[in-house]
Structure 1
Amino acid sequence: MRMFYVFFMMLLVFFKGCDSPASKKVGNKNGYILEPSGVFQGISLLGDSLITEVDSVSQNEQLLKLEEAEERYAEDPSLDNLIWIGRREAYLGRYDLAIRTFSKAVKEFPDAFEPLRHRGHRFISIRKFDPAIADLEKAAELMEGRPLQVEQDGIPNKLNIPLSTVQFNVWYHLGLAHYLKREWEEAIRAYEKCLEVSENDDSIVATLDWYYMALVKLGRKEEAKNLIKNVKRSMNIIENDAYHKRILMYKGELNPETLLSTDANADDQKLQYVTQGYGLGNFYLAQGDTARAKTIFENVLSTGYWSAFGYIASEMELANLKNE
């Protein structure tokens, strides 16, 4: 229904004008009142506001896909169609709306684990790790004994082949939420489960990377080394090239500095840069080179790609270094 599209556009206009943390009025040297065009989403681990910039021109394609998702739900109010509305809202950076939609799905379909998987993911995006853990643990309970369920991609990879399952994503994000809370043992337990449902090379390297880093955090370096011994250059990697390269670096098969050969200012390479940047910074941190690690973490934050996991993890490390 076009009604929803119009409603969403009205929301964008409304948020531009409201006096909220996202659009607090500020004065410039000429005395004019400026109103930032953005929507407040949460607070970073360093105390900064997380803002989704509003740009209906560059987001037009995603807005149209959201409209299509709403139309499908109007015709068939199924769980899957409702979840797709939330996913499309999240791709627009509107995690507030996505969480609201997933909450509606949780209420209407209390025995379903899928909306809890997605809401847990988006709680991580806005740094609400405890609610994320609660959702993902509940999802794990509900999905126990169920056959693996392929999860369709909202933003397909280059081969348009979905590579993950809902079960993989539940354990993966649960491990991540614990990792970001510096709960290494709990993260490892989740990644052990995640590895059991990692059915292709992309899923395997993504899981092993975080699993490896959690082991290193605990000083279990020999165990970490053995964990990644079977990772080879010849693996069939479709989309998780960044994680693959990080593991090859841990093994000494790739020069650390080559990880940051991507352009941090190019929109299509920012995610790659952020992912590689956190891995490299953490690598130096584990070696005791805190100064170099801090510089790399700060460079990751300079990209502004605040919803990326590598960005959140870099925040976590900088906040911890600040408190030491």
Structure 2
Amino acid sequence: MAEASAADVAVRPQAVSLLGQPLYSAPPSAEALEQLAEAQADYERDPDDADNIIWYGRRIAYTGDYHRAIEVFGEGIVKHPHDARMYRHRGHRYISIRKFDHAIKDFERAVELIDGQPNEIEPDGLPNAMNMPISTLHGNIWYHLGLAYYLQHDWENALRAYDTAYAVGDNDDNKVSTTHWRYMILRRMGRDAEARQVLTPITADMTVIENDSYHQLCLFYKGELSYADIMGENADTPGGSAVGYGIANWLYYSGETSRAIAMLEQLAANDGWSAFGVIAAEADLAAL
């Protein structure tokens, strides 16, 4: 079944970009298929177990089959309607396929479900270099809700969500990632003094395990890194897309509209189309 899913992913578009282009997933790696087979076996042994459902859906998504992953999380919602994790993960994959209204609905429901509940560490599906999970369920819900609103250019709601995501997190990775988005939103809103203020807690000596790109961008916004310092050669990774999108925005704020648009167009043509920087570039170009 995993092999059939992989073959299907390769021949049908998973989404249509905001610029009207069909988007195809790359063939999944052998490791991704092996992990999917393990998660599928667990799911088939006990398809009602919430953790089994979540990991089955996550592993399907990591093969690029976002529609099937959304179906699995939907089945999970039917079985566990009060489990915020189901809405959190389905909402993420709605973002991947550019269905932002659906994503917002899921994340807002997740926000309702976590109200008054203790936070919890969210296990990584794609571990960082230190194999140390850095994110939480509450933080990820608010973070992705902010992103979904950002992609619709709903700055007020995006800022509300990212301010909450910043407050929820208690590590430097969270601080740099949410600060990056808060800064960009405030600049888009013309609130430049507030944008500079949110950068104050960001320093070069922070302990950042995973979100190096966001850390570098924040230091760039502060004037502590140069353009050359952060524009690396590998722009085709999610981190590279994040840097490219941050720089494109900075050029836009600085009045260099032609350069900003050229960079957004380059990002939108990136094969790694599920990266948030790529989706955001599409959203900006579609709004021109």
Scaled by the length of structure 2, the TM-score of the pair is 0.96
Asked if 1:183 is matched to 2:183, the reply is no
Match of 1:48 among 9, 17, 21: 21
Asked if 1:316 is matched to 2:283, the reply is yes
Could you tell me how far 1:12 is from its partner in structure 2? Answer: 4.1
Aligned residues: 287
Match of 2:232 among 261, 274, 284: 261
Asked if 1:96 is matched to 2:90, the reply is no
Aligned pairs for 1:173-212 within 5 A: 173-212=144-183
Distance in 2 (alpha carbons) for counterparts of 1:121 and 1:186: 17
2:245 alignment partner in structure 1: 278
In our comparison, the structure showing a higher alpha carbon Rg is 1
Could you tell me how far 1:230 is from its partner in structure 2? Answer: 1.4
Q: What are the superposed Cα offsets for residues 132-167 of structure 1, whole Å, 9 maximum, x if unpaired?
A: 000000000001111111100011001100000010
Scaled by the length of structure 1, the TM-score of the pair is 0.86
Could you tell me how far 1:193 is from its partner in structure 2? Answer: 1.1
CA contact (8 A) 2:6 2:63 kept: no
CA contact (8 A) 2:2 2:36 kept: no
Indicate the structure whose relative CO is greater, using CA pairs within 8 Å and at least 6 residues apart: 2
Residues 65, 248 of structure 1: alpha-carbon distance in 2 compared, 3 angstrom cutoff: same
Asked if 1:61 is matched to 2:61, the reply is no
Could you tell me how far 1:178 is from its partner in structure 2? Answer: 0.3
1:23 alignment partner in structure 2: none
Q: What are the superposed Cα offsets for residues 216-259 of structure 1, whole Å, 9 maximum, x if unpaired?
A: 11000001111111100000000100000111111011112332
Distance in 1 (alpha carbons) for counterparts of 2:233 and 2:51: 36
Aligned pairs for 1:1-324 within 5 A: 7-13=1-7, 15=8, 37-53=10-26, 55=27, 59-77=29-47, 78-264=49-235, 270-321=237-288
More helix by proportion, 1 or 2?
2
Could you tell me how far 1:42 is from its partner in structure 2? Answer: 1.4
Distance in 2 (alpha carbons) for counterparts of 1:261 and 1:155: 23
Give 5+ residue unaligned stretches, structure 2. none
Distance in 1 (alpha carbons) for counterparts of 2:74 and 2:224: 45
Distance in 2 (alpha carbons) for counterparts of 1:272 and 1:191: 19
* Identity among equivalent pairs (%): 43
CA contact (8 A) 1:215 1:223 kept: yes
Letter in 1 for 2:139: F
Q: Which SS does the other structure have where 1:52 is aligned?
A: coil
1:30 alignment partner in structure 2: none
Distance in 2 (alpha carbons) for counterparts of 1:104 and 1:184: 32
Give RMSD over aligned pairs.
1.4
